[in-house]
A and B are shown apart, each in its own frame.
Chain A
Amino acid sequence: MSNSAMNIRKTALQLKPAKVNRKMDDHSNDPFFTKKLDKAKKRLKKVTIPAILKDRK
């Protein structure tokens, strides 16, 4: 593994959890994000997902 790869692995493992903001606005039903979601659904409606990305639990 390269030094650079080791660095990013180390960074990822050491990444502190983000600060939780309990007062953050919830935009889950915001038209902006629902529109983005619809676009993604349309783009990936008929795709075949590679096996390596399936059953990942």
Chain B
Amino acid sequence: MNLDRYLFEVSPDHFEYQFYSHGPKGRIKKIVRFDPFETGDGQQLINLAFGDWNEQTQAIDDETISNNGDTDKILATVAFIVLEFTNRFPETVIYAEGSTVARTRKYQMGINKYFEDISDLFHVFGVTENSSIQPFTKSVNYAGFLVSRKLS
């Protein structure tokens, strides 16, 4: 799977990554963070979130549609960041969802496209709108996703 992707940098604690999108709208800094949290029954998970650094507002947001023509390359970069993070922290369970239904759907389309490859390395579960967790199925639309590296 030789996907085109951006080079990225990581913070010293390896919980924050950044890279730059390049396209017709210029250079846009993307920030990816992994933040630990616990579910109600005490299971520790890692939330994956990412957004754009907005130079005008000097803040991070994910509501701007950057239209930089590189969505697939950005998603591939985030996928490789997850690989990098889980190479370092293989026991973690990562949760991700989009900021909107449309963006979550976009992530799901990416998982669908490469599911055979992804599932060789990761356990993949879908989280439904009513918060039930089930093994990822291509035909179901999910509200979010849980992934963890297969340890053996």
A residues near B (Cβ < 8 Å) are 1-2, 4-5, 7-9, 11-12, 15, 17-22, 24, 26-28, 30, 32-33, 36-37, 39-41, 43-50, 52-54, 56-57
- A30 CA / B48 CA spacing, docked (Å): 14
Residues of chain A contacted by B80 (CB below 8 angstroms): 15
CB distance from B69 to the nearest CB of A (A): 24
- Quick check: A32 and B43 within 8 Å, CB to CB? no
- Quick check: B133 and A49 within 8 Å, CB to CB? yes
- Quick check: B12 and A49 within 8 Å, CB to CB? no
- A2 CA / B1 CA spacing, docked (Å): 12
- B140 close to chain A: CB less than 8 A: no
Partner of A7, one of B1, B37, B40, B93: B1
Partner of A15, one of B84, B93, B148: B84
B36-63 interface mask toward A, CB cutoff 8 Å, 1 = contact, 0 = none? 0101110101010101000000011110
Residues of chain B contacted by A11 (CB below 8 angstroms): 1-2, 83
Residues of chain A contacted by B16 (CB below 8 angstroms): 24, 26-28
Among residues of A, the one whose C-beta sits closest to the C-beta of B39 is: A44
- Quick check: A22 and B12 within 8 Å, CB to CB? yes
Residues of chain B contacted by A17 (CB below 8 angstroms): 10, 84, 87-88
**Complex interface residues of chain B between 96 and 148 (CB less than 8 A to chain A):** 97, 116-118, 120-121, 123, 125, 127, 131-133, 135, 143-144, 146, 148
A12-B121, A32-B59 given; A49·B10 CB < 8 A? no
CB distance from A14 to the nearest CB of B (A): 10
- A56 CA / B84 CA spacing, docked (Å): 18
- A12 CA / B149 CA spacing, docked (Å): 11
Partner of B35, one of A18, A37, A53: A37
- A15 CA / B7 CA spacing, docked (Å): 12
- B91 close to chain A: CB less than 8 A: yes
